[in-house]
Amino acid sequence: MNLIAQTLADGLVLGGIYALAAVGFSLIFGVLHVINLSHGVLVLMGAYLALIFSEALHIDPLLCIPPVMAVLFCVGYAYQRFLIQHAVDRASLNSMLLTFGVALMLQNAMIWVFSPDMRSITPSYAFTSFKLGPVNLDAVRLSALAASLILLSCLAALLRFSPLGRVIRATAQQTMAARLCGVNVRHVYALTFAVSAAFAGAAGIVIGIILPFSPNDEGGWTLNAFVVVVLGGVGSPAGALIGGLLLGLVSTLTAQYIGPAFPNVTMFLLLVLLLLVRPNGLLGNAFAPSR
């Protein structure tokens, strides 16, 4: 009983982080129809930036979230405006390959700059933990989960209530109609990409405080994001949350009860199965209704 409760709790914490790490990927997929294979690199850039900031300024890593998000917002805007925009209008495979090329270059660059070693961010409260009934929760994981949920809610509110969110949703639903109403579609695409990159960076920080990371992990985080989006549905923070929690639960349960080597196998079987029975994910495409 204890073991099940502990496994479920760990799965939910991991799932919350998966959701945050995937939400940017989901947004870009939903609005630009681009599979951003450099998403994992953006996540890791967030983690490394937080490492630098928190070591240089001696502040809590979670306080690095705003500056890191600001930096990645600018990076994301420029990346979309100067590179990806040129491939967006062509076949979908082209933009995917473009982002893959960028991912390879940045991964190699990160290996030069930060070395291929595993790194981790250790906050001051790294070794505190609470007991909640039979379940052990350490402070790091709890704060990581809280940060994920808060950031996801912020993004959901941004998309739902702000003028920027309205424009992004309009562009995703009907690009042509949005353009006719005076929306500068390229600018919106770039802003969407920037917001996504910012959230990827924030996810990187949260990942950095609970798991070790190295430049070679980027592929894994991109794949996770893809699986989460396919499971949950494209474009919405709620879809990412559902997909993330599902993925977190499945991978911890598999690791616990089937074997530590098999989470990826079950994950992909689940993915293919879901693609076949419900190709649009559990919540469907957030921007689809008016298409």
Partner 1 sequence: MKLNPTQVFLLVAAAIVILAAGPFFLPPFYVRVGQLMLYAAGLGLAWGILGGFAGYASFGHAAFIGVGAFTAGLVEDKFSSLPALLLLPLGLLAGAACCAVLAALIAYPILRLRGTFFAIAMLGVSHVCAELTNNIDFFQGSMGLNFPPIAPAGMDPADFFYEIYLVAALFILLVSWQIRRSRFGAGLLSIREDEDTARMLGVPTERYKRLAFVVSAVLTGVMGVIFAHSLGYITTESVYRDDTNLSLIVYSLLGGMGTLFGPVIGAFLLVFITQVILGRLLDFHLFATGLLLVILVLSAPGGIAGLLKKRKRTAT
Binding residue for partner 1, selected from 88, 100, 114, 139, defined by CB under 8 A: 100
- For the CB of residue 182, give the shortest distance to partner 1 in the complex, in Å: 29
Q: Among residues 151 and 240, whose Cβ is nearest to partner 1?
A: 240
Picking from 219, 269, 231, 197, the residue whose alpha carbon sits closest to that of residue 110 is 219
Q: Please choose, from the candidates 260, 265, 209, the residue with its C-alpha nearest in 3D space to the C-alpha of residue 20.
A: 209
Q: Rounded to an integer, what distance in angstroms lies between the CA atom of residue 62 and that of residue 234?
A: 28
What CA–CA distance (Å, rounded) separates 208 from 203? Answer: 8
115 contacts partner 1 (rule: CB under 8 A):
no
Figure out which of the listed residues 108, 122, 129, 162 binds partner 1, where binding follows CB under 8 A: 108
**Taking the complex as a whole, how short is the minimal distance between the CB of residue 272 and partner 1, in angstroms?**
6
Residue whose token pair is 């009907």: 174
Place of tokens 């090329």: 101
Name which of 53 and 221 has its Cβ closer to partner 1. Answer: 221
| Rounded Cα gap, residues 60 and 131, in angstroms | 23
Report if residue 18 touches partner 1, rule: CB under 8 A: no
Q: Is 66 in the site for partner 1 (CB under 8 A)?
A: no
Phi-psi label, residue 123: left if phi above 0, alpha if psi -120 to 50, beta otherwise: beta
Q: If binding is defined by CB under 8 A, does position 219 make contact with partner 1? A: yes
Residue 253 interacting with partner 1 (CB under 8 A): no
Binding stretches for partner 1 (CB under 8 A): 35, 83, 86-87, 90-98, 100-109, 111-112, 219, 223, 226, 230, 259, 261-262, 264-265, 268-269, 271-272, 275-276, 279
